[in-house]
């Protein structure tokens, strides 16, 4: 029986009291050796919604595409690429916000040793961060499921435009549609019914998939190991804008706590990792991280 991956989580037991004081984070940053684990909440100030926040896509009954659906159903792939064709263009217009720039400044100052991001938007790199592990991949790349060829999403955008010249009118009508965290938008069935997908240009027949980890898909083990090494060498794991609902991110919080590292969280709302945290700060990330950079002298 096929089961859907964990999309929601409800806190149990006594919650970790939230604070608005970032002093503990400032002290950890001054000491150095901070690894960052970021989630969708860091990109909301760039106009990209999260899944589970107050205005998150799951609250709008948006159901993310699963790996099983994408690989097993040609109509699901058609629907995904039609919606992504419009959503990806909108995401390319998003720029890094104050939170991304603050993380880059802390890394430049030698206080942050590396970033693990659950986001697929590339905004950490756009802000200047260099040591970024994209845990869930990147919407900016496309992979062929048959031959493994990696290509640039901009190239696929051009090919899809050429294959679907009539879709431009549809895109114009729905340009204001809200983009979801996985890079697609909600479109009516009639808007995607005639959309044509394209195959890999290298092998000629392979199914193309965005180089992201879909719900229900495993993170590549080599990537997990890179993350484990970064966390193992950190004195503090700083979680930014993640509810830690899915195990792919939560496991690093557990690892840090088991290794004796300090876990600090800045997030709007409780997280599944609160039980392992020394403190959770509840403030908008851009303002909080900008204050941390100033007070830490980075």
Greatest alpha-carbon span in the chain: 57
* 150: exposed, middle or buried (Cβ count in 10 Å: 0-12, 13-18, 19+): exposed
Rg (CA), the chain: 20
Strand partners, 116: 37, 133
Alpha-carbon distance 207 to 199, whole Å?
A: 6
Q: State yes or no: is 62 an active-site residue.
A: no
Question: Out of 55, 100, 124, 136, which one is annotated catalytic?
Answer: 136
- Residues acting as catalytic residues: 136
């Amino acid at each position: 029986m096929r089961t859907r991956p964990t999309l929601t989580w409800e806190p149990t037991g006594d919650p970790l009291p939230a604070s608005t004081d970032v002093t503990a984070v400032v002290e950890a940053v001054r000491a150095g050796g901070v690894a960052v684990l970021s989630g969708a909440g860091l990109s909301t100030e760039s106009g990209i919604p999260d899944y589970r926040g107050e205005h998150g896509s799951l609250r709008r009954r948006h159901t993310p595409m699963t790996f099983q659906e994408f690989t097993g159903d040609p109509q699901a792939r058609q629907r995904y690429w039609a919606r992504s064709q419009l959503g990806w263009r909108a995401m390319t217009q998003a720029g890094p916000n104050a939170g991304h720039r603050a993380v880059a400044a802390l890394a430049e100052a030698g206080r942050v040793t590396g970033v693990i991001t659950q986001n697929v938007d590339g905004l950490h790199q756009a802000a200047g961060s260099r040591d970024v592990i994209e845990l869930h991949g990147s919407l900016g790349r496309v992979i062929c499921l048959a031959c493994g060829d990696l290509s640039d999403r901009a190239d696929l955008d051009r090919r899809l435009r050429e294959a679907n010249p009539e879709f431009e009118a549809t895109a114009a009508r729905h340009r204001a549609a809200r983009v979801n965290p996985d890079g697609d938008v909600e479109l009516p069935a009639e808007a995607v019914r005639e959309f044509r997908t394209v195959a890999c240009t290298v092998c000629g027949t392979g199914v193309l998939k965005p180089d992201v980890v879909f719900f229900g898909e495993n993170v590549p083990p080599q990537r997990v190991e890179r993350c484990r090494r970064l966390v193992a060498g950190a004195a503090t794991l700083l979680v930014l804008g993640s509810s830690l609902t899915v195990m792919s991110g939560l496991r690093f919080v557990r690892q840090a706590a088991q290794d004796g590292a300090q876990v600090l969280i800045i997030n709007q709302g409780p997280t599944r990792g609160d039980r392992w945290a020394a403190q959770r700060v509840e403030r908008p990330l851009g303002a909080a991280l900008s204050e941390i950079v100033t007070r830490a002298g980075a």
